[in-house]
Amino acid sequence: MEDAKERGRRAYANRAWGDAYDALSSASAEGPLDLDDVERLAFSAGLAGHEASAIESFERLHQCCIDAGEVQRAVRAAFWATMRSFAFGERARGSGWLARAQRLVGETTEDCVEHGYVRLPDVFRFTAAGDHAAARLAAREAADVAIRYGDRDLTALARTFEGRALIREGRPSEGLPILDDAMLAVTSGQLSPVVTGIVYCAVIAACQESYAHDRAREWTEALRRWCDEQPQLVPFAGQCLIHRSEILLLGGNWREAAVEAHRASRWLSGTKNPEAGNAFYQEAELHRLRGELSEAERIYAMASDRGRDPQPGLSLLRLAQGRVDIAAATSKRVLSTVVDSLQRAQYLPAHVEIMLAAGNIDEARCSADELGTIAKALGVGMVDAMAEHANGIVTLAQEDARGAIAPLRRAQDIWQGIGATYLVARIRFAIARAFQALGDEDGATLELDAARKTFVNLGASPDVAAIDAVSSRAPKQSSTNGSSGLSVRELEVLRLVATGKSNKVIARALFLSERTIDRHVSNIFTKLNVTSRAAATAWAFQNGVVG
C-alpha cells in the first residue's frame, strides 16, 4: 500500500496541490521528511492556499538545510520565506528572513546564483518608495546573475520586474518587450509552478497598468488555461478570475464579468491574499455601473477592509448618489497624493466627470489637458481614447458643441477598435448631446438610439435613465412657444425642468455645469414671465413642449 510520502510526491508531480499538501502533512506528522519532501510541502502549501503553513514550511526547510550544511539551499528557502511573508503583509517577519538570507550570502566566499535571488526584494523596496529607476537597476543586476548561472526561474522573475519598472518609469515601449521575453519561458513550460504564477500575474498587471489591452487579454487567456489544468490551485486562480472580469467588463460582457468577479471574491475572501481587495473592488464596480448603488457601497467597503483603495469607484458612486460635493472633495484629495503619470491617468477621467458635475469647468479642463499630455508622452491607444473623451466632454460643457465632435469621434474610433462597448456608447451619448445643441435632432436620435440599445443590453440602468431624460425630440414649435423666444438649449432645459429634475441632475444629463443650468433656468423664467419651476412646467405642458 502506498504510504503518505509516496502519495504526496505523486500528487505533487501531478500538480494536485491540495492532495500533495494533505499527504505530505500526514507524512510529516508520522516522522521526519527529507529536504526534498519538506520543499514539496512548502510549495504545495502555498499553491493550495495555506499561506501560514507555507511560510512555516519554508522556515522549517531553511533550518533543515542549515543542519545539513546546505547553505545555498538554506538561502533559497529564506528567500521564499521572505517573499511569502511580504506577499501576505507580514513585513517584520519578511524583513527578518531577508536579512538572514543576505547575511548567509555575505558569509559565503563562493560566488553563487543566490546573490541574484537576495537582490530581488530590493526591487519591491525601491518600488514602494517610488524609485522605479533604482528598482529597475536592482532587477537588472539580479537578471545578470541569473543569466550567468543559467537559472531560468530567477531570469524570468528579474526580467519581469525590470520590465515592470520601466513601465512605471513611463517607458512602456521599452518595458513591454522585456515582459514578452519573460513570458516565453512561461508559455514553454520552463519554469517552476510558483514562478510561473508570479510571472503571469505580474505581467498581466503591468499590461493593464500600461493600457496594453491586447497583451493583457492574450496573457489572461493563457493564465486561465494554465489554472484550469490545476483545479486545486488557489492563489493564481483567484487573480486570474479578477483579470478575466476586468477584460470582460471592458469588452461589454458584464454578465460573465460579474460571475468571475464574484467567484474571485469568494475564492480569496477566506485567505490573506491581498488580491481579495481587488476582487471586491471589481465586483463593486459592476454593481455601480448597473445602478445597484447600495450593494456597490457595501462591497467597496469590503475592498477597503482588505487594503484596496476604493477609488475612483467610490467617488463615482457618490456622484451617482447625487453627493457631488463629497465626490469632488475626495477626488481632489486622491489626485493630490498621486504623482506617477500612469497612476494619474487612472484617476483623471473620473476627476473630469466629477468636476463637470460640480460645475468646476476650469479644473475639468486642466485635468483633461493633463490627460492629453500624458497620452502624448505614452503613445498608448487606450490613454489616447481617454484623453480625447475627456477633451470632448469638457469642450461640450464649455458650450462648444461643434468643437466637441472631433475629439469624441476620435475616442469612439479607438474604443471601437478595442471592443470597449460601454465606453463607445457613452461617447455616442455625448455626441448626441452635441448634435442636439447644434439643432441636428435626426443625428442626435440615431446616436441616442444606438447608445440606449447598448446600455439596455449591458444592464447599465443609470445610463438608460440619463438617455431617457433627454431623448424625446423637441416638438415643432407652435406660434406660442415660438414667440416665447426660447433657444433650442433653453427648450431642452425646460423639458427636463418639467420632469421634476433638479438643476444639478439636469447639468449632469446635458454635460454642462450647474452654473450654466442656473443661468438657463433664469433666462427661461424671464422669457416666460414666470417666477417658479411649477409655473414654467405648466407653460411647457400648455404649449406642447412636453406631452
Confidence (pLDDT) at 2: 66
Regions of the chain where pLDDT drops below 70:
1-2, 109, 472-484, 511, 547
Q: What angle do CA 86, 224, 344 make, to 5 degrees?
A: 55
Q: Quick one: fold of 479-542? A: Arc Repressor Mutant, subunit A (1.10.10)
Distance between CA 290 and CA 332 in Å, rounded? 25
Closest to 185 (Cα-Cα) out of 226, 160, 152, 141: 152
Distance between CA 243 and CA 224 in Å, rounded? 9
User: Residue ranges of the domains in the chain?
Assistant: 366-470, 479-542
Closest to 407 (Cα-Cα) out of 438, 372, 455: 372
* Backbone region of residue 459 per phi and psi (left: phi > 0; alpha: psi in -120 to 50; beta: other values): left
Give start and end residues of each alpha helix (H) in 188-323.
193-209, 213-228, 235-251, 254-269, 275-289, 293-305, 313-320
The answer to whether the beta carbons of residues 293 and 300 sit under 8 Å apart is no
Confidence (pLDDT) at 275: 87
In whole numbers, what is the pLDDT of the chain averaged over residues? 90
- For residues 526, 530, 536, 539, the Cα torsion angle rounded to the nearest 10 degrees is -110
Long-range own/partner contacts, residues 264-272 (CB < 8 A, 24 or more apart) = 264/238, 264/239, 265/299, 265/302, 267/234, 267/237, 267/238, 267/241, 268/238, 271/49, 271/51, 271/234, 271/235, 271/238, 272/51, 272/52, 272/88, 272/89
Q: Mind listing the pLDDT tens digit for each residue in 243-299?
A: 999 999 999 999 999 999 998 988 888 777 788 999 999 999 999 999 999 999 999
The answer to whether the beta carbons of residues 64 and 37 sit under 8 Å apart is no
The answer to whether the beta carbons of residues 308 and 324 sit under 8 Å apart is no
Helix, strand, coil percentages in the chain from 3-state DSSP, rounded to 5: 80, 0, 20
The three-state (H, E, C) secondary structure of 336-360, written as one string = HHCCCHHHHHHHHHHHHHHHHHCCC
394: helix, coil or strand?
helix
Give start and end residues of each alpha helix (H) in 108-169.
114-117, 120-128, 132-149, 152-168
Grid cell at residue 156: 524570468
Confidence (pLDDT) at 240: 87
Closest to 309 (Cα-Cα) out of 285, 278, 267: 278
| 366-470 is classed CATH 1.10.10.10 | no
The gap between the terminal CA atoms of the chain, to the nearest Å, is: 84
